[in-house]
Amino acid sequence: MRKLKLIVSGCILSLVLFTTSCNKQGPESMVNDDVKKELQAALLERYPDARDVVWSEKSGYFVADFTASAVRSESIRYSAWFDGSCKWHMTETDIPFDMLPQAVRDAFASSEYADWRIDDVDMLLRDGVETVYIIEVEGTDADGLAREVDLYYSEDGVLVKTVVDAGDDYDYNDYIPDTPAQGISEYIKAHYPDARIVDIDREDGLTEVEIIDGRICRELLFDASENWLYTKTEIRTADVPESVMSALNASEYADYRIDDVDFFQTPDGDFYRFELESRDDDIEVDVLADGTVRPVTDEIYPGGGADRPGVSDDIAAVIEQMYPGARILERDYDNGYLEVEIFHDGRDKDVYFNGAGEWVRTEWDVRYPELPEPVRNLLTSDYRDYEVDDIKFVQTPSSEYYLLELEGRGDREINLRVDASGNVL
């Protein structure tokens, strides 16, 4: 749930309007002297040692870029964000890696990105929510592609967010939290008294709140009337109760491979949502406390009913252009990418976007008989000792191919990328 947050009040009305005849000075030319005085006073009240201040306007906020005389390192720079009434909302601070809390450094050292090159480190101090630390790393992913990954940590080393390829000009403006309604604040205090709020976002009448409960990340959703809709917690398969696993294993989905598990708490009861994969199909099923196993449909998706749940106008426009008439079913985050599930041409398709909102790939399940003849011929001639475990058709900005997961004797596994002509890529 991301959107442009515009604030119009107080001193913002004093903004200077420019025409094509305006001179091209620095960013301070965007703010007139009266506004600058009020903003400067607000800045110095919070940062009395601020120096080398340069003001600019971004996304409806006034931003002060500055250094602080109390900090000896010239490499440390600050960007403080104020709204139109000169109220502070966020400060981004560029810091060296060794200034990170020890818990964050330890968490990063044990992560899958520990060997990647560290490009930048930021600290985000925001109004009313948890301070987060962002480590930006550069490296090569499993597909051999160069990637930039932003890792968001809480002060005690909890990984709260991963973003792939956010873009060089990303400035965290969409990470300024909304102010929660009183009813939402009261609910969180009553049910999660020790929780730390990481982010608050409001869109299409829904409010999404991300919290850290102990060391567990949870996502809460509320409707326009401040009614709690659900709490979602991602869990490991090993942490699923034995009774729930027994119910799943006794169902028709026993032979499916578990890809992901989320625990949902709702006003109507709790359940575990499994993302399952098989050779012929991927499916989501819910397992209730009484052992009931049911496939997921739009009607029973918690918080469902929106035309495009949690998807921005820009993302929705891209999907409509690429897949006309597609119906958006769900959105989630997967390994740093925004994953949007759509229904198009009679199929469920997963559409992925990076942190800059750029489309990176789309994939959907394909049955073996649907494979082009050259692909089937390749499998029967060169891989006859392997069994096809999963088939997906993948679209990217540069290519289209079939992704084949093969299993052989002795737990041998092969992933093949094959084009429609039967060529292994």
- Is residue 71 domain-shared with residue 131, that is, in the same domain? no
Answer whether residue 306 is part of any domain.
Answer: no
- Is residue 35 domain-shared with residue 76, that is, in the same domain? yes
Query: What CA–CA distance (Å, rounded) separates 341 from 283?
Result: 12
- Is pLDDT of 300 > 70? no
Answer whether residue 331 is part of any domain.
Answer: yes
Could you say which of 94, 126, 148 is where a domain stops? Answer: 94
- Is residue 149 domain-shared with residue 186, that is, in the same domain? no
Could you say which of 120, 142, 175 is where a domain stops? Answer: 175
Angle subtended at Cα 303 by Cα 301 and Cα 306, rounded to the nearest 5 degrees: 95
Query: What CA–CA distance (Å, rounded) separates 191 from 170?
Result: 34
Angle subtended at Cα 166 by Cα 119 and Cα 332, rounded to the nearest 5 degrees: 130
Structure tokens at 273: 């949502």
- pLDDT, tens digit (0-9, with 9 covering 90-100), for 208-240: 999 999 999 999 999 989 999 999 999 999 999
Q: What is the largest CA-CA distance in the chain?
A: 77
Range of the domain at 29: 10-94
Answer whether residue 196 is part of any domain.
Answer: yes
- Is residue 37 domain-shared with residue 74, that is, in the same domain? yes
Q: Is residue 422 classed as helix, strand or coil in its secondary structure?
A: coil
- Is residue 49 domain-shared with residue 108, that is, in the same domain? no
The predicted model gives 289-296 an average pLDDT of 92
Surface-to-core class of residue 177, CB atoms within 10 Å of its CB (0-12 exposed, 13-18 middle, 19+ buried): buried
Q: How confident is the model at residue 270 (pLDDT cuts 50, 70, 90)?
A: very high
Answer whether residue 254 is part of any domain.
Answer: yes
Answer whether residue 323 is part of any domain.
Answer: yes
Answer whether residue 424 is part of any domain.
Answer: no
pLDDT score, position 22: 33
Q: How many CA atoms does the CB half-sphere of 247 hold within 13 Å? A: 18
- Is residue 285 domain-shared with residue 204, that is, in the same domain? yes
- Is residue 338 domain-shared with residue 378, that is, in the same domain? no
Could you say which of 62, 94, 126 is where a domain stops? Answer: 94
Work out how many domains the chain is built from and give that number.
Answer: 5
- Is residue 168 domain-shared with residue 188, that is, in the same domain? no
- pLDDT, tens digit (0-9, with 9 covering 90-100), for 368-392: 999 999 999 999 999 988 988 889 9
Answer whether residue 118 is part of any domain.
Answer: yes
Sign of CA dihedral 417, 165, 151, 131: negative
Q: Which of 28-42, 250-264, 341-355 has the lowest mean pLDDT?
A: 28-42
**Which one is predicted more confidently, 341 or 143?**
341
Query: What CA–CA distance (Å, rounded) separates 277 from 214?
Result: 32
| Average pLDDT value for the chain | 86
Strand order across the 282-288 sheet:
196-203, 206-213, 216-222, 228-235, 257-266, 269-277, 282-288, 293-295
Query: What CA–CA distance (Å, rounded) separates 140 from 116?
Result: 8
pLDDT score, position 70: 58
Q: How confident is the model at residue 25 (pLDDT cuts 50, 70, 90)?
A: very low
The predicted model gives 299-309 an average pLDDT of 50
DSSP element (H, E) containing 371: none
Q: How confident is the model at residue 75 (pLDDT cuts 50, 70, 90)?
A: low
Answer whether residue 38 is part of any domain.
Answer: yes
- Is residue 104 domain-shared with residue 88, that is, in the same domain? no
**Which one is predicted more confidently, 373 or 408?**
373
- pLDDT, tens digit (0-9, with 9 covering 90-100), for 131-168: 999 999 999 987 788 999 999 999 999 999 999 999 87
Q: What is the CATH number of the domain that holds 235?
A: 3.10.450.360
Q: Are 260 and 275 in contact (CB under 8 A)?
A: yes
The answer for residues whose C-beta is within 8 angstroms of residue 139's C-beta and 6 or more apart is 113, 115, 116, 117, 146, 147, 149
- Is residue 145 domain-shared with residue 216, that is, in the same domain? no
- Is residue 396 domain-shared with residue 343, that is, in the same domain? no
Q: Are 93 and 123 in contact (CB under 8 A)?
A: yes
